Structure 1
Amino acid sequence: MDGLTTAIVTVTAFAVTAALGIWMIPFLHKLKYGQTILDIGPSWHKNKQGTPTMGGLMFIVGILVACAAGFALYAARSGGFNPIQQMENAKFAAGLLMAAAFGFIGFLDDYVKVSKKQNLGLTPSQKLVLQFGVAAFYLVSIRLSGDATTALPIPFFGYFDFGIFYYPLAAVGIVYITNSVNLTDGLDGLASSVTLMASLGFLVMGRMLGVVPAELMAAATAGGCVGFLVWNFYPAKVFMGDTGSMFLGGLVVAMAFSIGSPLILAFVGIIYIVESLSVVLQVISFKTTGKRIFKMSPIHHHFEMSGYSEVQIVAAFSLVTAVGAALAVFSIARL
């Protein structure tokens, strides 16, 4: 994909997302779709009570519009797609559908929260059933597209064939990463900034491997995240909600699968993974010993309780993601 198309996709996602905020934020205020802040969180978060949530709809529209425009533009400029690209295109469409489906699950969760004025939406079991259903749909879709390989590159170690374990492990991985992105959305601009760095890494990897759909998705995601940060950077005027964070989780997974290297998320998604692991370790430690490892989990709240500002934490986590993305690019170059 040429630089002009990449720029058009990125700018389109940014412009649509940022512009939608002008209308959507007052609209969400009017509907009184405000965030409910739990008492167990940092006390200073109480001043965020009532900030509109479900703002992720802004970049969902922006990213999908940009992907459609970029796909059409690339097809027109390149004169069509070859058979190999047809498989990549099918995975591209399946990835966007997966992200949209995860976003819809998040929307249902957010809607229950705001309509009942509580911080609990769908039950964990309801969410998991829906999420695994979406993951299964995606894996079946890419299998039907012609991608039947069960061998994956392990960064810096070569390929390993997972055989019959590939699909159940892949489904667990998809759900795990999606929920990890959701957990990362706990500070103003955090999930948006971290995902921006991750998408830039995928943009480089897609260009290196010549996987146009991955470039398209990454460019649109980067633009959408920057457009959302116009409204979501500290102090946030709107939150993405589970609607947005689960959509971004689906996109991150789709980008990793589109370049044929989902395990690269060990580097690109290092912050997502650390966030979710901090919750798991905190629960295990408290239930087994009665003691907490962190002052509060997910780990971004631990750093908050340690005296770091939201802006400092967002900057540090984004930098870590950028380093992880650079390692991912280096590992891809060695394949």
Structure 2
Amino acid sequence: MLYELAEALGFPGLLNLFRYITFRAGAAVMTALILSLVFGPALIAWLRKKQGKGQPIREDGPASHLLTKRGTPTMGGLMILLSLTVSTLLWAEMKNSFIWPCLLVTLAFGAIGFLDDYSKVTKQAHAGLSGKIRLLLEFAIAGLACWWIAQTTGTTLYLPFLKDMGLELGWVYIAFAAFIVAGFGNAVNLTDGLDGLASMPVIIAALTFGVIAYLVGNIKFAEYLGVHYVEGAGDLAVFCGALIGAGLGFLWFNAPPAAVFMGDTGSLALGGALGSIAVVTNHELVLLIVGGLFVLETVSVIVQVVSFKLTGKRVFRMAPIHHHFEQLGWAESTVVVRFWIVSLVLALTGLATLKLR
């Protein structure tokens, strides 16, 4: 919005800064952060008043959670969605064809998560929407967004570590990309089980993909690095900036002991946002590295369920895997910080794929 205004005026004086993606990305970070810090307390107070008992806590989860987390309000993802959306609309180039499908996925997944959270809070039960209905909605939205994106980027799956090389998959690519988007929405959702556990890895992944989007969207950098050039992808760095600012603002209130949980409203939206950015930049497989922590959490649940059904035995003391380490005696803060470190290492590994070609 502000870019179009500056463009209409001819970018005079200081408004010339609006030409630069790096300036607008930094401004998006600060705008989203300030909005979260300003409106966060009022939103949390409103959620606490409306929800009463707060988010229902899993009876089969760690026993300590029943004491330390009971009464904490959920749906704090509304704070993230508000600051992210406003900041993006202010600082991104609205004529960019990639901003809108990414916003569509983020807000639509947030709406699905909101319905799920609302069902849990009103019923005071851990089970929310039907899993089948939720997955159907997620794949429908992800499929639509990925089809929209593919009209510009094509249907080639590009391979990391190989110089601008990919596999032309046709319609299979749309299904695969939709799986990545919906899968990461649920992966972040599974990871969001401890105070601050999902927030920082999402911020780290968003920072990483902000860099990737900027490089992929710049023809000179793309040619130098041997990655596929995607015209217009650079402006997603602004979207990533807004995501970082919104995440940092939320983390201010979600740091232990959390004053609010993001709930499915936030976790589904954040995971979907990361997935859609990966699709736009043709770095879907790199997302599996950068977001490896989320992949690990998801795999731990799958392994636990399959093992128990086939053998009657559990591989982990509790799944997702962050609860396993809690059961081993690790303090919650220890699990969170160590998982942050793992996330940072994986992000650096993902960035290294840009040069190892």
**TM-score normalised by the chain length of structure 1:** 0.91
CA apart distance, 1:67: 0.8
Gaps of 5+ in 2: 1-19, 219-232
Cα distance in 2, alignment partners of residues 205 and 168 from structure 1: 23
In the TM superposition, residue 2 of structure 1 has moved relative to its aligned partner by 4.4
Q: Give 1:162's aligned residue.
A: 169
Are the equivalent residues in 2 in contact too, given 1:213–1:258 (CA < 8 A)? no
Query: Where does residue 5 of structure 2 map in the other structure?
Result: none
Aligned to 2:127: 120
- Residue aligning to 1:80: none
Aligned to 1:134: 141
Equivalents in 1 of 2:23, 2:155: separation in Å? 35
Aligned residues of 1:55 and 1:238 also touching (Cα < 8 A)? yes
- Partner of 2:43 in structure 1? 24
1:312 matched to 2:312: no
For the 8 Å contact 2:150–2:174, the answer to whether it is kept is no
Q: Is the 8 A contact 1:96 1:254 kept in 2?
A: no
Percent of residue pairs bearing the same amino acid type? 39
Mean Cα displacement is larger for which, 224-233 or 89-98?
Answer: 89-98
Displacement of 1:3 after TM fit? 3.6
SS at match of 1:160: strand
| C-alpha distance in 1 between matches for 2:291 and 2:196 | 16
Deviation string, structure 1 residues 1-55 (Cα, Å, up to 9, x no partner): 4443222110111111122211011111110251101210000001211200001
Aligned to 1:97: 104
Show the 5 A alignment for 1:296-307.
296-307=318-329
Q: What is the RMSD computed on CA atoms of the aligned residues?
A: 1.6
Pick the aligned partner of 1:6 from 25, 29, 37: 25
Distance 2:74 2:119 in 1: 12
Equivalent position amino acid for 2:156 in 1? A
Instruction: Map Cα deviations across residues 31-83 of structure 1 (whole Å, 9 max, x no partner).
Output: 025110121000000121120000110011011111111115xx8xxxxxxxx
Q: Any stretches of 5+ residues in structure 1 without a counterpart?
A: 76-85
Q: Distance in 2 between matches of 1:204 and 1:294?
A: 36
Structure 2 SS opposite 1:119: coil
Residue aligned with 1:174, SS: helix
Q: Do residues 272 (structure 1) and 291 (structure 2) align?
A: no
Stretch deviating more after TM superposition (282-291 or 16-25):
16-25
Partners in 1 of 2:240 and 2:355 — Cα distance? 18
Paired residue for 2:235? 213
Does residue 53 in structure 1 map to residue 74 in structure 2?
Answer: yes
Where 1:230 maps in the other structure, the secondary structure is helix
When normalised by structure 2's length, the TM-score is 0.86
Deviations 1:183-218 (A, max 9, x none): 010000111111011111112212322332220111
Q: Work out the CA distance in 2 between the residues paired with 1:96 and 1:254.
A: 9
Which amino acid in 2 is paired with 1:37? I
